[in-house]
Amino acid sequence: MNFTGEPEHDDVESSLLHTRSIPEDKYHFAYIIYFIIGLGYLLPWNVFITAVDYFSYLYPDVAVDRIFAAVYMLPGLVGVSLIIFYSHKSDAFVRINVGLGLFVVSLLVVPVLDAFYVMGRVGLYGGFYVTTFAVGLAAVADALVQGSIVGSAGVLPERYMQAVIAGTAGSGILVSALRIFTKAVYSQDASGLRKSANLYFAVSIVIEFICMILYNIVHKLPVIKYYNELKIQAVTEGEDTGPVTGSAWRSSIWDTVGSIKWYGFGIMLIYIVTLAIFPGYITEDVHSQLLKDWYPVLLIACYNVGDLVGKCLTAVYLLENAKIAIGSCIARLAFFPLFLGCLHGPSFFRTEIPVTILTCLLGITSGYLTSVLMILVPKIVKLKEAEIAGIVSVLFLAFGLAVGSVIAWFWVI
């Protein structure tokens, strides 16, 4: 197992790097597109969860946030698993376009339902079932887009993986900004909640359309075409070019899992810790007499800013020692007793300042370590295996999200 983070490309792949000059990413256009796509594939989930106040008002007899989480996580896990085992029979370009289209459909459901059926009325649970179906559809779209875009970024230079991961943090910033804006501008009654939710979904639909347009442009850019051709050459020149059988593909998958398992463990642990604390603990367990209902809104914004800062830091300095990175993921378990102390510790520890500092640190460490490990994973395998390594890393991430969301129900005493 290579814990140095150094690439393990074979001689064929290394020689291909020198066959012709690498095209320039003019104006960082490809980088910006990958950032926007990263923002786009996480935005629907953030929007459904951010609008949970509106949904809880409409459907007071159900635990909306927990049901949404369960409905989103399970299809995500299943979807990424299927992509791993059948990605050799489908094209990432098609999967991503289909996924972005499904995002648009799932996001359209809520405003259309509101306009023609619910219309702000409480207790129409047929609307809840349709909305829950839309959440599940968004989860399928997420699996298609996230698994495929991270996998395809795995064969590109590390800056493009960093762009995708930073984009996911940008999604949280955008939604937090919308939340703060709507809370300041709209009244917090039924009408205000309805206007807020419709604004969230309208903005998201526009962004998903933009992602569709940009993705269909980016694969035509010379720099991206160059690296995709490099991958194809590595596969055809570095191994037997006969048809890929199911058993050979499964064998390749398990070999890749074996190569990246400790990196995957680190990624999984990051999100077990993070999701066990955020957002449930932030929104339900800590309170402020000074900030009142602004407190959870501002704490969520602090986490999202920290997450973006952490994910952007890898563009400045990338920790290439995997032992230190994975050890840091384990060290983040210390957040459990620290946040518990904010509930049951000394009086000062239960005030706004320590909670805010810990929330920022939770975001920064989550963002930085996620970006580090996701960047390193495709680089420790051969170029022809980089795409599947990227998709497998998403599976570890999804599993961490699922486990963390379950632990969130139980760990606070």
pLDDT tens digit sequence for 328-381: 999 999 999 999 998 888 888 888 999 999 999 999 999 999 999 999 999 898
> pLDDT-based confidence at 246, cuts 50/70/90?
low
Q: In whole angstroms, what is the distance from residue 43 CA to residue 171 CA? A: 5
CA dist 174 → 30, 235, 350 (Å): 21, 39, 29
Q: How far, in Å, CA of 14 to CA of 125, rounded? A: 59
* Residues 56-109 pLDDT 10s: 899 998 888 778 888 888 888 888 988 888 877 888 899 999 999 999 999 999
pLDDT digits (tens, 9 = 90+) for 298-313: 999 999 999 999 999 9
CATH class for the domain made up of 28-227+257-407: mainly alpha
Beta-carbon contacts of 7 under 8 Å, excluding residues fewer than 6 positions away, are: 379, 380
∠ Cα 55 412 303 (to 5°): 60
What count of residues does the chain have?
413
What number is the average pLDDT over the span 255-266? 94
* Structure-block tokens of residue 387: 């795409």
Peptide bond into 279 cis (omega under 30): yes
Residue pair 136/72 in contact (Cβ under 8 Å)? The answer is yes
The pLDDT tens digits of the residues spanning 188-230 come to 888 999 999 999 999 999 999 999 999 999 989 999 999 888 8
Let me know: does 393 contact 150? Beta carbons within 8 Å: yes
Q: Distance between CA atoms of 76 and 93, rounded to whole angstroms?
A: 19
Indicate whether 30 pLDDT > 80. yes
Residue 107: its pLDDT value, please? 97
Q: What is the spatial distance between Cα 340 and Cα 363, in angstroms, rounded to a whole number?
A: 17
Which residue, chain included where needed, has tokens 């996580």?
73
HSE (CB half, 13 Å, CA atoms) of 98?
Answer: 13
- Give the sign of the dihedral formed by CA 147, CA 149, CA 154, CA 158: negative
Query: Quick one: pLDDT at residue 237?
Result: 64
Mean pLDDT computed over 122-140: 94
> CB-side exposure of 66: number of CA atoms within 13 Å?
11
Going by C-beta distance under 8 Å and a sequence separation of 6 or more, which residues neighbour residue 244?
A: 88
The residue whose two tokens read 């501002």 is 298
pLDDT digits (tens, 9 = 90+) for 274-298: 988 988 777 777 788 888 888 888 9
What pLDDT does 19 receive?
55
Question: What Å distances lie between residue 333 and 266, 350, 412, CA to CA?
Answer: 12, 20, 14
The residue whose two tokens read 């051969």 is 382
Q: What tokens were used for 197?
A: 């939710």
Q: Residue 112 burial by CB count (10 A; 0-12/13-18/19+): exposed, middle or buried?
A: middle
| Integer angstrom CA distances of residue 411 from 161, 285, 328, 406 | 33, 12, 21, 9
On whether the CB atoms of residues 154 and 161 are closer than 8 A, the answer is: yes
Rounded mean pLDDT of the chain?
88
**Residues in Cβ contact with 272 at an 8 Å cutoff, skipping those fewer than 6 apart:** 400, 403, 404, 407
List of E strands, 40-133: none
Q: Which tens digit of pLDDT belongs to each residue from 13-23?
A: 455 555 568 89
| Preceding amide of 354 cis, omega within 30 | no
The per-residue pLDDT for 2 is: 52
